[in-house]
Amino acid sequence: MSAHLSEMSTISANGAAPLLEVNDLHMHFPIRRGFLRRVVGHVRAVSGISFSILPGETLGLVGESGCGKTTAGRCILRAYEPTSGRILYRQPDGKQVDLAPLSAQELKPYRQQIRMIFQDPYSSLNPRMTVLELISEPMRINKTVAPSEMQDRVALLLRKVGLRPEYMRRYPHAFSGGERQRLGIARALALDPHLVVADEAVSALDVSVRAQILNLLQDLQEEMHLTYLFVSHDLSVIEYLCDRVAVMYVGKIVELATTDALFSQPKHPYTEALISAVPKPNPLLRKRKQRIVLEGEVADPANAPSGCYFHPRCRYAEARCTAETPELRNVGGGHYVACHFAEKLTLRGAESVALDV
């Protein structure tokens, strides 16, 4: 397994050292029952995923609800303590540190460099705090800015995200959803991070506001040399924003490729079905291609099927799929797929599902 991971990092790095390498990450949540709350099983939310992110890159992590993508993002931030695996973060001096086994105290300097943008712009902001208090709180806790300079720093951050500095005395209820998400972005950038995990950062917003936030994230990435892990279920957002895409199904990565390669020539049947489900604004495209409707339900991560987790819903499944778990392997050009028949299948891609922004 380790040889496979090092090969993946070398190919994906393309001469540049990855900022983050996730190696064989597992996150299992115990299932407790009975009066004594005994552990009777585990929900395997994340089951051995591996990927790397290059400096300045945006990697999309996509899949259906419950596939484990948000859990993976929170493990990287160490909001959860992973069951096993390595989370290798490269510091500005070039040295790597494994975040997985670190204590809360040891994690404190790295939490300044890895920040999160939350999904819900309403519940993620404390309604009892002003904008000034909300955005300055990380700087005050980490003592990165002198108290006398705090207001100027908040004003600068507000301008960066397209809000007026005069708003810093207001409370969150005075802002719209899009403006609240801008506040969340400003708070995430308060400590000048290197890596930002965006967890469904635009899914709660209207389409017009969504496009504005995506463009803002791109501008900030260029200006501040940010690296993004963008978690989303929306493939149109992923195609517009991301350089590479990792597709998750029931806690595993089933396909990993550049955005262009994944959308034009998907290699995994699950990816093909996801792409076909994206709404098409062009009526001609709607008539030309029928949506692939997957039968059955998403596998239970507490009681996953044998072999390939996707085989009960896959229209290409054969006997081998029920017995043998496919490895995530390179099928050429840095395109990784976990499917026994990836080279034989000719799957349907997409002309374009990108947002019109």
Distance CA 331, CA 348 (A): 17
Q: What is the pLDDT of residue 12?
A: 44
Do 237 and 256 share a structural domain? no
Tell me if 56 is assigned to some domain: yes
Do 244 and 194 share a structural domain? yes
Do 152 and 41 share a structural domain? yes
Tell me if 356 is assigned to some domain: no
Do 155 and 11 share a structural domain? yes
**Bridge partners, residue 61, by sequence:** 231, 246
Tell me if 103 is assigned to some domain: yes
Tell me if 32 is assigned to some domain: yes
Do 197 and 274 share a structural domain? no
Do 242 and 270 share a structural domain? no
User: Total domain count for the chain?
Assistant: 2
Using DSSP's 3-state secondary structure scheme, residue 341 falls into coil
How big is the CA angle at 97 (ends 93 and 101), to the nearest 5 degrees? 160
Do 281 and 195 share a structural domain? no
Do 319 and 233 share a structural domain? no
Do 342 and 279 share a structural domain? yes
Cβ burial, residue 15 (10 Å; 0-12/13-18/19+): exposed
Question: Which of 187, 221, 249 lies at the terminal end of a domain, its last residue?
Answer: 249
Q: What is the pLDDT of residue 207?
A: 83
Do 344 and 278 share a structural domain? yes
CATH of the domain at 157: 3.40.50.300
Tell me if 196 is assigned to some domain: yes
Do 136 and 196 share a structural domain? yes
Question: Which of 232, 249, 266 lies at the terminal end of a domain, its last residue?
Answer: 249
How many helices and strands, by DSSP H and E, does the chain display? 12, 12
Tell me if 159 is assigned to some domain: yes
In whole angstroms, how far apart are CA 59 and each of 134, 166, 292? 28, 35, 26
Question: Which of 186, 215, 249 lies at the terminal end of a domain, its last residue?
Answer: 249
Tell me if 319 is assigned to some domain: yes
Q: What is the pLDDT of residue 10?
A: 42
Q: What is the pLDDT of residue 276?
A: 85
Residue ranges making up the domain that contains 226: 2-249
pTM above 0.85, yes or no: yes
Tell me if 357 is assigned to some domain: no
CB 339 within 8 Å of CB 261: no
Q: Two tokens at 1?
A: 């397994």
Taking the chain (357 residues) in runs of 10, the rounded mean pLDDT of each run is 46 68 95 90 92 95 90 94 95 92 93 91 90 94 92 95 94 92 94 94 84 93 95 90 95 95 93 83 61 79 90 90 93 92 84 47
Do 280 and 147 share a structural domain? no
